[in-house]
Homo-oligomer: A and B are copies of this chain.
Amino acid sequence: MKSFYSTDFENFDQRYRSTLFNSISGFKSLNIVGSCSELGISNLGLFNSIFHIGANPFLLGFIVRPEGPEHDTLKNIRKTNQYTFNLVSEDIYVNAHQTSARYPSGVSEFDPCGLSEWVSDSGFKPYVNESPIRIGLEVREIIPIELNGTKIVIGEVKEFHCENEDVLQIDGFIDLEKAKIMTCVGLDAYYLPNLLSRLPYAKPTEKK
């Protein structure tokens, strides 16, 4: 058993600390977040903190770190109210990782990262054309976390798109393995999950 206590945390090298703390809590939802400036300049950023808040209304949240000069995602969402989540598949994870580079503010990540833009029939944008599952959201609430200066962005899903209809099962389950969707650990490790089992609804009477 290897144990770490908060009194040890301060002695960690900053990079070691970041790598350790970003990998200890488990696998993450991996999405490229797309947004547009008021002038229509598109932006992509890689986020691994997407979480489900509720199905009625359909709300998803994610964390944005303290704003810097290149931090266009939050600025764009505030101006236009809309943004997209684009799930990352095996075919594009290297491109997705490249969107995490610090391009100057006002430079679209699409072209330098080898990705192309897609607009849905409703006019919602900017989606990543190469992503097999794309979600369009409108911002509902931005909650500042005073503890560390980050912000929680809560959005309502207005539409979503599955490139391959076969990934949608009859009960509504999306077969993310068939769509080759990836998960990540920390800021650099990319994984392809294999389904072990879908388990039946758990009831208290069953003893394990």
Contacts and interface: CB of A to CB of B under 8 A. Distances in A.
Interface of A: 1-6, 9, 12, 15-31, 48-63, 65, 85, 87, 90, 93-95, 97-104, 112-114, 120-122, 133, 135, 140-141, 143, 145, 147-148, 150, 152, 154, 156-163, 165, 168, 171-174, 176-177, 181-183, 185-186, 188-204, 206-208
A22 B55 contact: yes
> A150, A194, A196 — which one has the most chain B CB atoms within 10 A of its CB?
A196
Contact of A3 (B29, B49, B161): B161
Contact of A204 (B22, B103, B147, B200): B103
Contacts of A172: 12, 15-20, 23
A200 to B, nearest CB: 7
29 contacts: A2-B161, A6-B58, A6-B156, A12-B172, A23-B172, A23-B173, A23-B176, A24-B174, A25-B31, A25-B87, A25-B135, A26-B29, A26-B31, A27-B27, A27-B176, A27-B181, A49-B51, A53-B145, A54-B148, A57-B148, A59-B145, A90-B196, A93-B197, A94-B208, A95-B208, A112-B204, A143-B152, A190-B198, A191-B193
A44 to B, nearest CB: 12
A152 B152 contact: yes
Contact of A206 (B3, B65, B101, B140): B101
A6 B156 CA distance: 10
Across the A-B interface, the 3 shortest Cβ-Cβ residue pairs? A191-B193, A20-B172, A19-B172
A198 B26 CA distance: 16
